[in-house]
Structure 1
Amino acid sequence: ALLRMRNDKIDIVLMDVQMPIMDGLTASRTRREQEQNEQLPHMPIIALTASVLPEDKKAALDAGMDGFANKPIDMMLLNHEIAQVLKLEQSNV
């Protein structure tokens, strides 16, 4: 995930919190450190997780994520979260 964020043109990242090898919280923290250390642009990151306890949302925000969405994915809610993170106007659907 970190290599893709560094090498590809990406508008927004939907980061699974529970990934093998490196979890999404660690990957997000690492990306934020890279942005700071290497003057990279801020990349919007939305956490995706099946765990929706308040402390899970806080952990995602503390790791530098910009938004939070639950699984299974509700497309209307995910679209709302993406629009909010990207500061896009939302039309009533």
Structure 2
Amino acid sequence: MAQGKLKTKTSIPDRAKNKKKQKLQQQKRSQLRKGSRFIAPKKAHKLQSAKLKKNLQKTINKCIESEIAARVTSQEGQQLKVVNVPKGSGDKKKK
């Protein structure tokens, strides 16, 4: 006859399962990605707030650029020349 108790299958408590799942999800979210990517939100109110934030950022940048151009013009006596580079001609080399 066998001596001792029979082994019973034990299960992991729910709290431990949830912690493990949360940790895995957090690791997936924090994985390194190549380049600066912006992932748009899916909910409508978050889309609106993201759009508003982007527009505010654009207007603030325009104001800053115009102020700096005005300062340069007043100090140097000639206008600041801005050169726009075409999008396709960048120094991007693959390794």
| TM-score band w.r.t. shorter chain | under 0.3
Structure with more relative contact order (C-alpha pairs < 8 Å, separation 6 or more)? 1
TM-score by length of 1: 0.19
* Larger fraction in helix: 2
Query: Which has the higher Rg, Structure 1 or Structure 2?
Result: 2
Larger strand share, 1 or 2: 1
With normalisation by structure 2, the TM-score equals 0.18
